[in-house]
Structure 1
Amino acid sequence: MKIAIVHDDLVRKGGAEQVALSFHHAFPSAPIYTLSYDAANTYPEFRSCDIRTSWFGKFIKREKNMKRFFYPLGVLAMQKLDFSEYDVILQSTTHCAKYVKAGDKTLVITYCHNPFRLVWSPDSYEKVKESGSLKRKVLNKVLAALKDIDIKAADRTDWFITNAQEVVPRIEKAYHPKKPIAVINPPVRIENFYVSNSVSDYFLVVSRFESYKKVDLVIEAFNQMPNKKLLIVGKGSREKELKEIANNNITFLSGLDASNLARLYANCKAFIFPQLEDYGITPLEANASGRPVIAFNRGGVLDTMIPYTNNSMEATAVFFDQQSVASLKEAILLFEQLQFDPAFISAHAHTFDESHFIEKIKAFVLEKYNGEAQIPQKLPKQSEKVAV
C-alpha cells in the first residue's frame, strides 16, 4: 500500500498539526505533502519527516504571507500536486489539502477538522464581518469561487473522518458525503505532561489571541476578581489589545518550551477554556496534568470532558452555560468549593493518548483499503503483503 499524507500547511503549532504528526507516527514511511512549511514555527518533530511542499511553499513560508497569497496562488499550487501514483491519500484538512489531484483508483480518506471556515462561516472572521460594502463585494466573489473549488475537491473523498460529533452536521451540510462520517477524537501526547504533588494559586489559559477564543472574557472576569491570579500563555492578532485591558493580577507569557508549559499545566488550580471549539486539545492537556477544566458548555468538550453534576471526585470539568462574565465567575466560584481527584482526571486523559489514536487511524485506513482491494483491479496477489 503506497500512502501519502497531505496536510493544509505546517506554519504553526496547533491541534491539526498534532494530528498530522500522529498520521506520520501511524505511517512513518509516508511522505507529508503540504502547501507551506515553516520549520521554525511548527513542531520540531516535523524536521525528521519527509516534508514535501508545493511550489508555493518554496517561496512563501510565513503564515501571514501564506494567508495573503492563498487565493489564488496557494489554491493553484495545491491543485498541481498529483497523487495518481498513490494507493491511498490520507488528508488532514480544513481547507486546501483536499485540493490535490487523486487518481481514479486512489482511495481518498479525509480527516476534516472543520469545513473551510472562511468559505462556510465568513462572518466568524472580524475582518470579513467589518469590511465595507465595496470590499465585501470583492470578498463575496472570491469566497464564491473558493466555495465552488472546496465542494468539488471534497467530492473526491471516499471516506470522511472528523474530530468530534460537533463537526459531523457541518460536514454533512457542506459536502453531502455519500458514506457515514467516522469520529476519531484527536490525540493527546500524554508523555509530555505529568501530575504534580503541589498546586499553585493561579488559573491558566493557553490560547491564540483571536476574537473567537474569548480570552477577553476571561480577562474581564479576573479584572473583577483582583484577589485571583491568572496566567495567559499565547500570542496572536489581539495581543496588544488584550494586554491593555488586563489588570495587575493577570500575567502574559509566550515562547515557552514544552517542559515549562507542562509545569504551568501541572501546577495550576484549574484550566479555563471559554471558547466554542470543534474539539480542543488544551483541556485534555490540562487533564493529562491532573488538573480540572472550567469550560464553556458547547463544542468538543462535550466529547472529551466529564462535567461535574453531583460528584466532583469523578469529574474532570465544571461547565458554564453562557459566554458571559457572570456565568464564568459563577463557575469559578463553584469550582473553588469542590474537590477533584487528580488521579481520576489523569486516567481519563489517558484514554485519549496518541497510541489509541494511531491504532484507530491505522485500523480505519487498512479496513477501507482492503475493502477497496476487493475490486478486481485493486486485488493484490496472494503472495503480497500490505506494507506501510
Structure 2
Amino acid sequence: MTVAIVHERLTEIAGSEHVVAEFARQWPDAPISIPIVDPRVTAEFTGRVRTGPLSSAYRAARYRAYAPLLPLVPGWLSRQDFGSAEAVIISHHAFAAAAVKAAGSRPTIVYVHSPARWAWDKEMRREEASSLPGRLALDVLSRLAIAVERSAAPNITSIVANSTAVAQRVKDHWDRDAQVVHPPVNIDFYTPDAAQTRGDYFLLAGRMVSYKRPDIAIRAAVESGVKLVVAGDGREAARCRKLAEGGDVTFVGRVSNDEFRNLYRRAKAMVMPGEEDFGITPVEAMACGTPVVALGVGGALDSVVDGVTGSFVNGSSDAELVSNFAETFASFDNGLFDTVKIRRRAEEFSPEAFRAKMADVVAQTMATHPHG
C-alpha cells in the first residue's frame, strides 16, 4: 500500500515525533508533510519531509518561535497534494486534522495525541499564558483549533487515540469513537542494570510546566522529608526551586538520555503528579525496572498497574494531593515491587508492537474504505 504521512510541526523530538518516526519505519517510502520544520531536528526523516514557506519563515525568525505561524498551518495542510497515496496517516495535536480536506476521497487515519487540550480547557489556557496579550492570543488560537477539529472530525475515516483518556476526549469533543493504540517507548535503550545500586531518592522527570504539576511532587517531598531529584526545566522552574526551600530536593536541569537512564535505574520510584495524555516517562522508568508513583487519572491508568508496577495517588484538592503524595513517599517500599514484572509490563509498549497495531489499523481501514 502507498500512504502519505502528516505531522504538525518538527521543532523538537518528543513523544509525538517518536510516533511519526515509527510511521516512517513502517512505511519507508511514504512522504511526510510537515508545515513547520527546524532543519536541526530532521535527521530521522532526511529526504522525506515535504515542507514550505512556513518553515522558511520559522528559520528566518530571530528566536525561531513557531506559535505565531500556527494560524497559517490549517490552510497549508488543507492544500496539500498527496499524489498517488492510497491513504493519509495524520499525527494530530491541534491543527493537523486540517489535512483531511486535502485527502479528498482517500481514507484517513488520524492518530490523536489529544484533541487540543489547551483549546478545549479554559483553565489550562489561563495557566499557559501569564500576560493579557498572551491570553488573548491563546484564546484566538484556541477558537481556530476547535474549528479545525470540528470541521475535520466527521470526515475522518478512522480515529486512533494514544490512551483511553484521550479516546474519551475524542468522544466528548468530536462525538466520534476511537480505538486505542499506545505510543511507542524505546525499551531497548531504557533497560534495568543489575550493576546499578538503587538509591534512596524519588525522581521527577520532564518539562516543568504547570499542567504537569511539579509543585505537588515538590511540596510533598518537602512535607515528607524524602529526597527528590528533579530532572528537566521549564517555565515553572523558578517557582519550583522556591517551593523546594528547606527540603532535600536536587535540581539537575536538562540531562542527556544516558543520564536520564541512570537516574531511572537508581531511583526508588519515579513520580508523575500531573494528568498526562499518555505519559512516556513512566513507561521509560518501568522499562528500567523502576516503579512509578502516579496521579491516578489520565494516561497513567493505561500504563501503571497499581500494586504491581507502582502506586496511584488521588485527591480532590491540591492540599489533599500534597498530603497523599507525602504519605505515599514516606511509606513507600521499593522492595515490594518485582523488577522483572515491572520490566515485562513496559515491554508491552515496544515500537514493534506499536508498528504492528498501526499497520493493522491502516490495512483494515483501507480494506473497508478503499480509495477511488
TM-score by length of 1: 0.85
Question: Which residue does the alignment assign to 2:213?
Answer: 214
Question: Residues 129 and 138 of structure 2 are in contact (CA less than 8 Å); yes or no, is this contact kept in structure 1?
Answer: no
2 CA distance for matches of 1:337 and 1:287?
13
- CA deviation string 1:25-50 (max 9, x = no partner): 2212212221222254x5x7525462
- CA deviation string 1:240-268 (max 9, x = no partner): 22223323622222342222211111111
Three-state SS of the structure 2 residue aligned to 1:265 is helix
The CA deviation at 1:190 is 0.6
Q: How many residues align?
A: 362
Question: Which residue does the alignment assign to 1:126?
Answer: 126
Mapping of residues 55-204 of structure 1, within 5 Å: 55-61=53-59, 65-71=65-71, 73-83=72-82, 85-100=84-99, 101-126=101-126, 140=139, 143-177=142-176, 180-197=177-194, 198-204=197-203
Counterparts in 2 of 1:128 and 1:251: CA distance versus 1, 3 Å: closer
2 CA distance for matches of 1:64 and 1:246?
32
The CA deviation at 1:338 is 5.1
More displaced, 51-60 or 159-168?
51-60
Normalized per residue, the structure richer in helix is: 2
Question: Which residue does the alignment assign to 2:352?
Answer: 355
Question: Which residue does the alignment assign to 1:386?
Answer: none
- CA deviation string 1:35-94 (max 9, x = no partner): 222254x5x7525462222421222158972113322x3333333323354211111111
2 CA distance for matches of 1:122 and 1:48?
38
2 CA distance for matches of 1:243 and 1:83?
49
Counterparts in 2 of 1:206 and 1:39: CA distance versus 1, 3 Å: farther
Counterparts in 2 of 1:37 and 1:337: CA distance versus 1, 3 Å: closer
Question: Which residue does the alignment assign to 2:368?
Answer: 371
Counterparts in 2 of 1:211 and 1:141: CA distance versus 1, 3 Å: closer
Three-state SS of the structure 1 residue aligned to 2:65 is helix
Counterparts in 2 of 1:253 and 1:137: CA distance versus 1, 3 Å: closer
- CA deviation string 1:132-178 (max 9, x = no partner): 5x98677655543442233112333111000111122211222223x
Alignment partner of 2:310 out of 302, 308, 317: 317
2 CA distance for matches of 1:138 and 1:321?
34
Counterparts in 2 of 1:368 and 1:145: CA distance versus 1, 3 Å: closer
Question: Which residue does the alignment assign to 2:231?
Answer: 233
Counterparts in 2 of 1:149 and 1:364: CA distance versus 1, 3 Å: closer
Question: Residues 128 and 210 of structure 2 are in contact (CA less than 8 Å); yes or no, is this contact kept in structure 1?
Answer: no
2 CA distance for matches of 1:282 and 1:82?
36
Question: Which residue does the alignment assign to 1:50?
Answer: 48
Question: Which residue does the alignment assign to 2:222?
Answer: 223
Counterparts in 2 of 1:251 and 1:39: CA distance versus 1, 3 Å: farther
2 CA distance for matches of 1:342 and 1:85?
48
2 CA distance for matches of 1:183 and 1:49?
31
2 CA distance for matches of 1:125 and 1:182?
28
2 CA distance for matches of 1:339 and 1:35?
49
Counterparts in 2 of 1:107 and 1:137: CA distance versus 1, 3 Å: same
Counterparts in 2 of 1:136 and 1:337: CA distance versus 1, 3 Å: closer
Identical positions, percent: 27
Q: Which sections of structure 1, spanning at least 5 residues, go unmatched? A: 309-314, 379-388
1:8 aligns with 2:8: yes
TM-score by length of 2: 0.89
The CA deviation at 1:97 is 1.4
- CA deviation string 1:329-353 (max 9, x = no partner): 1111232375211111101111111
| Aligned residues: CA RMSD | 2.5
Three-state SS of the structure 1 residue aligned to 2:10 is coil
1 CA distance for matches of 2:50 and 2:127?
32
Question: Which residue does the alignment assign to 2:331?
Answer: 334
Question: Residues 54 and 78 of structure 1 are in contact (CA less than 8 Å); yes or no, is this contact kept in structure 2?
Answer: no
Question: Residues 208 and 235 of structure 1 are in contact (CA less than 8 Å); yes or no, is this contact kept in structure 2?
Answer: yes
2 CA distance for matches of 1:192 and 1:49?
26
Counterparts in 2 of 1:321 and 1:97: CA distance versus 1, 3 Å: same
1 CA distance for matches of 2:52 and 2:349?
33
1 CA distance for matches of 2:331 and 2:301?
19
The CA deviation at 1:316 is 0.2
Question: Residues 54 and 69 of structure 2 are in contact (CA less than 8 Å); yes or no, is this contact kept in structure 1?
Answer: no
Question: Residues 3 and 86 of structure 2 are in contact (CA less than 8 Å); yes or no, is this contact kept in structure 1?
Answer: yes
The CA deviation at 1:273 is 0.6
Question: Residues 201 and 227 of structure 2 are in contact (CA less than 8 Å); yes or no, is this contact kept in structure 1?
Answer: yes
2 CA distance for matches of 1:255 and 1:329?
25
Counterparts in 2 of 1:87 and 1:208: CA distance versus 1, 3 Å: same
Question: Residues 98 and 153 of structure 1 are in contact (CA less than 8 Å); yes or no, is this contact kept in structure 2?
Answer: yes
Question: Residues 84 and 104 of structure 1 are in contact (CA less than 8 Å); yes or no, is this contact kept in structure 2?
Answer: no
Counterparts in 2 of 1:201 and 1:167: CA distance versus 1, 3 Å: same
Three-state SS of the structure 1 residue aligned to 2:283 is helix
The letter for the 2-side match of 1:207 is G
2 CA distance for matches of 1:347 and 1:270?
17
Three-state SS of the structure 2 residue aligned to 1:111 is strand
Question: Residues 319 and 331 of structure 1 are in contact (CA less than 8 Å); yes or no, is this contact kept in structure 2?
Answer: no
